[in-house]
Structure 1
Amino acid sequence: MVTLSSFTRRLTAGARQVELSLEAGQVRWLDAQEHAGQNIGDSATHALFIELKEPAPPRAAPSGLGPRG
């Protein structure tokens, strides 16, 4: 994920929630996941998501919700 603007969002997946603030120009890895996002800041959310064609190699399940730094 590449952020095009600075924003604050709340991500929800089942009973889990996390709030995050990202600055414009950040590049973050986002594990495959299903979640709902809600803009809770004062600015619009603009980001690019780049998906890999090949599946990721097997590894432990992601422990967090949302992007990793």
Structure 2
Amino acid sequence: MDDSRHPTVTDPEFYRVVFENDRVRVVEFRDTPGTRTMRHHHPDSVLITLSAFRRRMTMDDRVVEVDRAPFEAGWMVEHTHIGENVGDTPAHVMFVEIK
């Protein structure tokens, strides 16, 4: 992956690395209602929600709205998108990125 497209580079005000080794990188994400990210890339990851949120994900060929409850975990395939918090609550998420 081109590290210049990693969200910690494109949107450091929202994303930060909290742990990294040769197998995984753990990234924390936080934002507030109305905020929008730059276009960025996520590798295959486990997504763990720490708060409920609603987001609009704009990918190259489609737009998807996502609602998540707190304390869910799920697989997220590699993709590139722009994210926007379209809900009423701040979002707090952890990504466990597979290297």
TM-score with structure 1 setting the length: 0.73
Q: CA RMSD in A?
A: 0.7
Q: Secondary structure at the match of 1:35?
A: strand
Query: Which structure: greater helix fraction?
Result: 2
What stretches of structure 2 of length at least 5 have no aligned partner? 1-46
Q: Which has the higher strand share?
A: 2
Using structure 2 for the length normalisation, give the TM-score: 0.52
Matched, 1:4 2:50: yes
Instruction: Give me the identity figure in percent.
Output: 38
CA distance in 1, matches of 2:98, 2:84: 25
State the alpha-carbon separation in 2 of the partners of residues 45 and 28 from structure 1: 16
Structure 1: stretches of 5+ with no match in the other structure: 54-69
Using CA pairs below 8 Å that are at least 6 residues apart, which structure has the higher relative contact order? Answer: 1
Runs of at least 4 residues off by over 2 Å: none
